[in-house]
Structure 1
Amino acid sequence: MREYRVCTNCVMDTTDSKIVFDEKGVCDHCHSFKEDLLPNWHTDERGLSDLKKIVEKIKKDGEGREFDCIMGMSGGADSSYLLHVAVKQLGLRPLVFHVDGGWNSQIAVNNINGMIDKLGLDLYTEVINWEEMKDFQLSYFKAGVPNIDVPQDHAFVATLYNFADKHKIKYILNGGNFSTECVRNPMEWLYYGTDMAQIRDIRKRFGTIPLKTYPFSSVLRHKFYLRYIRGVQVVKPLNFVPYIKAEAMKMLEKEYGWQPYPQKHFESRFTKFYEGYWLPKKFGYDTRKVQFSSLILTGQMTREEALEKLSKPAMPEDEARQEFEYIATKLGISVDELRGYFNAPNKSHRDYNNQESIFNLGAKVLKFIGVERAVKR
């Protein structure tokens, strides 16, 4: 068994089985950031100039239309700050789009509504059929794979793309950013949520009802067909401007009465349980290591601060028990049944049909042609 090691520069460690260290103990996540991403990431005058050109095109294409773009909003820090930047700094007219998968926290609902009201925007909410979502999520629990958040993630992506295509909206604003996400989750932790071969296999084995209304979109459809045939483009404005998360959250609190969350992605009750308890306790994967390492590399957190936070569980034991009961009740199963899934043998995405090789090839092609710049996953 491999000896446990932690990077001497960030806090990524050998729970990422593919991690590689140099002679100084610095990991390949750090090297990838420094060598592949940093030279091509500009948030100074160059970035602002590039962003202005994109914004001018969005505004021109949106002339005479009620909205010039669409953006998905979860109520989290990234999407909330993006909305502020898009409207207040860039002068865009987005249709704010929210997908309700049945797991919104009350804080998220308040954050979304508070910003929408203050900015005078329209909010479109798509509600996913709960019986279908519940069955889909249970099939992932039964499959025993780490990424049980696929049903929720896939719904968010597919619904947004489907709506944009149907209503001929050419620009999707996305809160994804290098500033807080320059280190990517290892594939074994969070496998792709748009692998339709995997989804179909898991659904065939463990699903109990047909998903008649649940939205699907394959990666080929939204990465290639919608992008290059239909002309739907994803724009990530936060990659062109300085984005210091702590400062952004303070501004959101002051301007909109926005409330922070204990951890990134905790705007969803399910994701809170999944990333805060299920993933670290069952599989040993703590997504805070990825999140904190991103902040370390971008100068927003010290390694010492990160290690101190990691010395404590993401979710205290008493809170975890309450969340365990809540999740079971919401899914319509007993606590014992949910505990049975927790204690069952761990599986990986490679135990089921998958298109990993196609995803890897696509990522290499997109990186080669300069469409996407991403550090190691």
Structure 2
Amino acid sequence: MAAAVVSAVERPFNAPRVPRDYQICVRCVMDTSDSKIVFDAEGVCDHCRTFDAKIKPSWNPKPEPGPEFLKLVDQIKARGQDKDFDCIIGMSGGIDSSYLTYYAKERLGLRPLVFHVDAGWNSQEAVNNIEQLVDKLGLDLYTEVINWEEMRDIQLSFFKAGVPHIDTPQDHAFFATMYRFAEQYDVKYILTGANLSTECIRNPIEWMYYQSDSIQLRDIHRQFGSRPLTSFPTTSILRHKVFLPYVRGIRVIRPLNYITYNKQDAIKLLVERFGWQPYPQKHFESRFTRFYESYWLPQKFGYDTRRVQFSSLILTEQMTRDEALERLTQLPYCESTITQDFEYIATKLGISVAELQSYMDAPNKTYRDYKSQELLYSLGAFAMRALGLEVGGKR
């Protein structure tokens, strides 16, 4: 297989803004917008090679879960026998968490508590999707509302910091709140929609730094925030990777890794059974995330998260490379509505459109410009993979 030759048509609008010859993988659609990407002599990237060597051999999903996973399901049921629910599912209203909620209740016979964190950015479609599933499945919904003034202040801090990962405060609050609830109410099992079928390639760390790094979150807020974070929920890598699982016995389970999970089939089922409303792109259930992934990242930094999403689907045979390349020729945002979206984000944050634009125009920064626990994450990931406790591509 020859190395990729890039035509003017194939080269994307958001080609990397780094002094490096442009190259795109001949198998997936990851390219040199990932500054650390490596290509072999055949033009295949290290994301693909990692999938072949590290993920595919140990990941063998089947239409029905195997006996080992069903044994775990029985343990979950037994542990929660005398309780109102036997596990919790973090639900955003997106495709993965929505399908997981259906699957856990209808196919596995579990009694999950649907757990939702409202950070102030839910789209109306997300609200409707959550309500439809909860009502039609007969489940209970628990919603935790994050203090808006604190959320607003810390999100503005990230804009001012000039980093790519401005969605960190929202994600951090989601995970921290769910872990805190599980610990407080002695819930031993958290089910999550994270899966290898649609997420076998991870976002490069320079695109999306670790959301759980509380050191960086606090450092950015200390430098750019204007009010104390008195109620904003925080967690840490040691807390949720060591203390909670090994001291408190709280396990995070990814059921979609044990079954054949096809994104389009899941959407079809949810639409037909629940009147579920699809989104134009993964993660667009949040209006902030929609702005962040479709505009902030590609326009300011040249990072297009669709490359990661499409490449994952290519490797799991849910999308062709030609289809992905065709879709990448289209802008990631809607040209007819981006002005309204821009105004909405500014108004919601209590700033002018001009101020928001000034953050777009300011010098770009990275996670390396602020305090972090990157070394700890790197050592932890190495140890987890060495022990066979985690699989997945590089960040």
| TM-score interval (norm. to shorter) | over 0.9
Structure 2 residue corresponding to 1:170, chosen from 175, 188, 209: 188
Q: Which residue of structure 2 lines up, in the alignment, with residue 249 of structure 1?
A: 267
Check conservation: 1:142, 1:206, Cα contact below 8 A: yes
Paired AA for residue 113 in structure 1: E
SS in 1 for 2:66: helix
Check conservation: 1:50, 1:240, Cα contact below 8 A: no
Structure 1 residue corresponding to 2:84, chosen from 44, 63, 66: 66
CA offsets 1:114-173 (integer angstroms, 9 cap, x no match): 000000010000000000000010000000000000010000000000000000000000
Q: Which residue of structure 1 lines up, in the alignment, with residue 340 of structure 2?
A: 322
Check conservation: 2:64, 2:260, Cα contact below 8 A: no
Identical-pair percentage: 61
Query: In the TM superposition, what is the alpha-carbon distance from 1:366 to its structure 2 partner?
Result: 1.2
Query: In the TM superposition, what is the alpha-carbon distance from 1:320 to its structure 2 partner?
Result: 1.3
Query: In the TM superposition, what is the alpha-carbon distance from 1:322 to its structure 2 partner?
Result: 1.2
Paired AA for residue 206 in structure 1: F
When normalised by structure 2's length, the TM-score is 0.94
1:52 aligns with 2:70: yes
Q: Which residue of structure 2 lines up, in the alignment, with residue 97 of structure 1?
A: 115
Tell me the matched-pair count.
Answer: 377
When normalised by structure 1's length, the TM-score is 0.99
Structure 2 residue corresponding to 1:206, chosen from 220, 224, 237: 224
**Residues of 2 paired with 1:5 and 1:363: CA distance?**
28
- Structure 1 residue runs without a partner (length 5+): none
Paired AA for residue 227 in structure 1: P
SS in 2 for 1:318: coil
Q: Report the more deviating stretch, 323-332 or 58-67.
A: 58-67
Q: Which residue of structure 1 lines up, in the alignment, with residue 350 of structure 2?
A: 332
Query: In the TM superposition, what is the alpha-carbon distance from 1:46 to its structure 2 partner?
Result: 9.0
Query: In the TM superposition, what is the alpha-carbon distance from 1:309 to its structure 2 partner?
Result: 0.4
Runs of 4+, deviation exceeding 3 Å: none
Q: Report the more deviating stretch, 48-57 or 358-367.
A: 48-57
1:28 aligns with 2:54: no
**Residues of 2 paired with 1:150 and 1:63: CA distance?**
36
**Residues of 2 paired with 1:309 and 1:325: CA distance?**
26
Structure 1 residue corresponding to 2:97, chosen from 79, 82, 86: 79
- Structure 2 residue runs without a partner (length 5+): 1-18
1:275 aligns with 2:281: no
Query: In the TM superposition, what is the alpha-carbon distance from 1:318 to its structure 2 partner?
Result: 2.7
1:221 aligns with 2:239: yes
Q: Which residue of structure 2 lines up, in the alignment, with residue 356 of structure 1?
A: 374
Structure 2 residue corresponding to 1:347, chosen from 350, 365, 368: 365
Q: Report the more deviating stretch, 189-198 or 41-50.
A: 41-50
CA distance change for structure 1 residues 126 and 353 in 2, over 3 Å: closer, same or farther?
same
**Residues of 2 paired with 1:181 and 1:45: CA distance?**
19
Paired AA for residue 284 in structure 1: G
Query: In the TM superposition, what is the alpha-carbon distance from 1:23 to its structure 2 partner?
Result: 0.7
Paired AA for residue 107 in structure 1: E
Structure 2 residue corresponding to 1:289, chosen from 307, 322, 345: 307
RMSD: 0.9
Query: In the TM superposition, what is the alpha-carbon distance from 1:47 to its structure 2 partner?
Result: 4.8
SS in 2 for 1:71: strand
